[in-house]
Amino acid sequence: MQSPIRRYLPHLIVGLSISLVMVGAYMAVGFVQTGAPKSTWATTPLTITFAATAGQGSAIDSFTCDPSTTNVMLVAHASTVNIALSVAPSSFASCSSTPDTVTLTATCLVPAAQCVGTYQGLVQIRNPANYYGNIPANLKVTIIVT
């Protein structure tokens, strides 16, 4: 009769090997994530308020990145088909500790009477070099049409 350790030794070795691979993979991903850029918006959340009869309204904000990164794109989304949210400029050659200023514009896409209300929007900073992954944190935008 074999001792229990000797009997289960192959199973213990396989289990230990799998555990070591998982710990190594977890640590590798953790170290990559800590080096990934993060953005900071000057004003968050941002509010754009305008009269429906005006048809559109704008607000200015700025953002920084830490650590620095290159070739970033900004993408704006509105929570409704009644409003379009855009950002200009929509790309920057770099993002660093120096603030990059953008203008956000909300535009009514329906007649003024149907445009009145409060809507939500979102601006994401994307890095094409990172398979268009988002650089956190996103800018939340509240759009108030009176």
pLDDT for 132 = 62
Would you place residue 1 in the very low, low, confident or very high pLDDT band (cuts 50, 70, 90)? low
Task: Give me the residue label for tokens 């998982």.
Answer: 22
Phi, psi (deg, nearest 5) at residue 83:
-125, 140
Cβ density class 45-81: b for 16+ within 10 Å, e for less: ebebebebeeebbebebebbbeeebeebebbbebeee
| Tokens matching residue 146 | 């009176």
Does the pLDDT at position 110 exceed 70? yes
Question: What are the tens digits of pLDDT across the range 54-90?
Answer: 999 999 999 999 999 999 999 999 999 999 999 999 9
* Residues in contact with 134: Cβ distance below 8 Å, sequence separation at least 6, in sequence order: 124, 125, 126
Query: 50 has which bridge partners?
Result: 145
